[in-house]
Chains A and B, each alone.
Chain A
Amino acid sequence: MRSGDRLRAGLALIAVCALLLTAGCGDALPVEDRALVLALGIDPNRTSAAGDLDWTFVLPNATVTASSVGRQSPGTQVSGVRVTAPDLSTAMNALQDRLARKVYMGDLEVFAIGLATPSDRARAAISDLVQFGSVPDGYSVVATPDPATRLLSVVTTQDAIPRYFLTLYLNCSGCHRHDWRVRGWQWWAAAQTPGVVPHAVVLRPEAGSAVVAGEAVYPAGPGPALVMPPDAQDGLFLTMSRTTAAVVSGLAGRRRLSVSRLTGRARTTARLVGGRLEVSVRLHVRGVLTSQGGVAIPSGGAAQAALVHAAQVLVAQHMLDDVGAAFRWANREHCDPFGLTTQALLARPRLAYALAPGSSVWFPIDVRMTVRADVVSASSFT
């Protein structure tokens, strides 16, 4: 037998052994015997003296099949199981106690934090989930007014299991005014990093859907999350270069102008000077002038140029107001969801690396902003 033949024979033998031994048969179960957890939510338990949390696990209904989806009402496609427990492991144990199928967390898509949940408990819950090992940390983290069950049970008629409304909502790239999605590993990394606090979009269930209601920010400590109002939230996402499809509508003189499809890029610098954080934000936003109060937009000439200029001023002012609101909010609440404190700390690596993971660092922020708004007229395309 030639050397190459021996190699092929050896590889074939090993491939057969590998198929038999490493195909995951050790813990293989048919999907209908698994309790797949699609979403998980936490809320404080009001009656527990020990400070336990309510854990809501959302599971797809195993009896829904492709052929029966059309006959199912949205409410029967998923079921929620709520248990009360101090931590994730105990909660999963309690969940398994109630189910005849084996709990599987590997397909977790959404983690929802009730707004009344103490910040340190939310941090601990996600840290436990990250340490859990076999749960990929790509799930989205959101906040919601209590109880989390209300948001997690939103299932619309368009989204039949295994497509889950919240997953589709958060994964929808370029659909919403900002890219809201924060993944589990990003949230956890922020919680570990001195000089930044993790945050998550607040989604309020409303009429069988979800509405954005600010941004929840989780400083270290036992207090509940702090909620950024919408204008500060817009400023935060602009500063993070995560504005993907915003709209600005306002009066320029007597005309109401609307600029849509706004995307934003920000370049930030931050340095520590005498116990204060000096921040520079340079914003570049681009958008399309799509309306001037129902009147046709001129398709060229000085009239269009004047209108576009007015729209640019409107957008620039709006963006400056939003970013200013975000930094005023951060200074008032003594926390930095932007990560600019970390950026400044890392310019002094010896100082930065000496800080313990998760330690809390904050400096008052002095911000200088410049904005460039590039607006084109929709009439240029038609």
Chain B
Amino acid sequence: MSRAGARISPGQFFWATAASMVAGGVFLWPMPLLLEAGADWAWALGADGVLVALTLAAQLAWGQRVPGSSMFGRLRTLWGPLAWPWLLGSTALSVVVEAVVLDLFVRMLQTFVLPGTPAWPLRVLLAGLAWVVAAQSLDVLARSLRTWFVVGLAAFMLMVAVTAAHATGAAALHPPWPPSGHGVLAGVAGTWLFWIDDGGVAITLAPFVRGLDWAGARRWALGAVALQLAVVAIVTCVVLTTLGPWAGGAKMWPMIELMVGAGPTSFSFVRPSLLILPVWIGAFVGYLAVHAHSISANTRAAVGVPESARRWHALAITSAVLIVAWQLPDAPTVLTMATQDLSPLALGLSIGLHGLSLLLAIVRPLRQAQPARGS
């Protein structure tokens, strides 16, 4: 049964927005941040939080001002035919970013858990799982995300706390003063794609929140940013106080190495730290699914097909993610490409799309009103 008029609760909107940020690449933190921002990592992380919050606020502010049934509908009202390049650009970037994160996640699984298993079944299963979840109606998707994300987050923070027992001191958390503009900018540009990949999740889901206006949705979305900022800050602090900045920056996935290395290691024990894998798989599938669902809502609106085509659009998007992931080179090259090229592009697109749309949404009614006043 298709439920075109499905509504979600404010709490489900909060968890869905949270799942659309950070969750896909949480296993990589804080490596890209340390690599790009160096000593200025703390300032860059703070700037990340502020900028992500501003972008989401801008996204919901122009969404509120412009009528339409989806992000694409609103873009068309605002930009006219120019809505198409925005949609194609943001969709293509979203697909590539998700493919990069999928590829890195699969390589991490191969390194730590399934060294003898080829990458393709892992990729296909993760993308397939994401498709099954993304193809559901919004209320079913949001309910699944809320349930699994809360459980996963709690388990993850428990594992982080166990690892934190090995912290040797807070000296590594000392931020430099004054912050270096170059370091902060490099940090923000290099980590942006782990925050927002511009499938427009918040603006797409906000109109479906039960009994909530846009200002309420903005508060919940900013709460989701605060939650994910706290998660990333805790992970970064644990890695820095245990491994230190030099060793922490040298590892591709420092958090999982710490979790595996910090637990009891004896032939007689099953490593409890490996429990983190189902948690991360859940978070990853949720991330992929919420993006695929949101993009499919916009592509459906663009080609004018009904709600019932949802599963086929979600299938097309997850398949595209899978095909792009198949073409990617080795993990270090992919990571360099992600932080050096894709992430600054995503930052530019986020600011361009939502900043300019907000500006246009504010200016256009005035422009229309001016001749009326003059006549």
Residues of A within 8 A of B (CB): 2-4, 6-7, 10-11, 14, 17-18, 21-22, 24-28, 36, 38, 60, 107, 109, 133-134, 136-139, 162-164, 167, 171, 183-186, 188-189, 192-194, 339, 342-343, 346-350, 352-353, 355, 357-358
Contacts and interface: CB of A to CB of B under 8 A. Distances in A.
Given A28-B116, A137-B257, A357-B246, A339 B175 contact: no
Given A22-B114, A192-B246, A193-B247, A185 B261 contact: yes
Contacts of A26: 114, 116-118
Interface in B1-20: 1-3
Given A14-B125, A137-B260, A343-B169, 13 more contacts: A17-B125, A22-B121, A22-B122, A22-B125, A26-B117, A38-B267, A134-B115, A137-B257, A167-B267, A183-B261, A193-B247, A339-B169, A357-B250
A120 B231 CA distance: 38
A352 B169 contact: no
Given A133-B111, A185-B258, A109 B267 contact: yes
A343 B244 CA distance: 10
B261 A138 contact: yes
B128 interface: yes
A21 B132 contact: no
Chain B contact-residue range equals 35 or more
Nearest to A28: B116
Contacts, number: 145
B243 A185 contact: yes
Given A21-B121, A137-B260, A171 B111 contact: no
A192 B261 contact: no
A355 B247 CA distance: 12
B1 A3 contact: yes
A346 B111 contact: no
Interface stretch (B133-141, B295-303, B364-372): B133-141
Contact of B39 (A4, A134, A183, A352): A352
Given A18-B125, A26-B118, A346-B174, A134 B111 contact: yes
Contact of B246 (A22, A136, A194): A194
Q: Which 7 pairs between the two chains have the least Cβ-Cβ distance?
A: A27-B116, A138-B265, A26-B116, A10-B132, A21-B121, A189-B247, A137-B261
B244 A163 contact: no
Given A162-B267, A171-B264, A186-B166, A21 B117 contact: yes
A6 B3 CA distance: 14
A24 B116 contact: yes
A171 B245 contact: no
B45 to A, nearest CB: 14
Contacts of B136: 3, 6-7
Contacts of B129: 11, 14
A25 B258 CA distance: 26
